[in-house]
Amino acid sequence: MHGLKICKILDMALKTGAPVIGLNDSGGARIQEGVASLGSYAEIFFRNVRPEWSHSTDFCHHGPMCWGAVYSPAITDFVVMVEETSHMFITGPEVIKTVTNEEVGFEDLGGQPHMQQNQE
């Protein structure tokens, strides 16, 4: 349901030429919604990369974001993050520890300093 709301907002912005400013704090897909929640990611991404989308899309992350929720902000024009609060990553530290036995923290994995370093 949440993904459909985002799609409607993006469609309205495309129709009116308005910029999009997203305020995100997401743990990823709502698993209780089943496969439909994953399908919403595809619909959102489709709208993010449409060639007629020529106006600004900006995202402000004020908390942690993981899994599919990080793809859309990654292809926007600007991303604002709060140091030591905002984190963006596909797979969290616990999974990395389980799979690779490597210790990595939220900041090193996808915190504001890490993102800034990779943009320079």
Give residue-wise pLDDT tens across range 77-117: 778 887 788 888 888 888 889 999 999 888 887 777 766 66
* Count of CB atoms situated within 10 Å of the CB of 18: 12
Res 11: pLDDT = 92
Residue 8 pLDDT more than 90?
yes
DSSP 111: B
Res 2: pLDDT = 76
Residue 120 pLDDT more than 60?
no
- Please give the domain boundaries of the chain with CATH numbers for all domains: 2-119 (3.90.226.10)
Distance CA 43, CA 31 (A): 17
* Burial (0-12, 13-18, 19+ Cβ within 10 Å), 118: exposed
Residue 7 pLDDT more than 80?
yes
Distance CA 66, CA 10 (A): 21
Do residues 11 and 46 make contact, with C-beta atoms less than 8 angstroms apart?
A: no
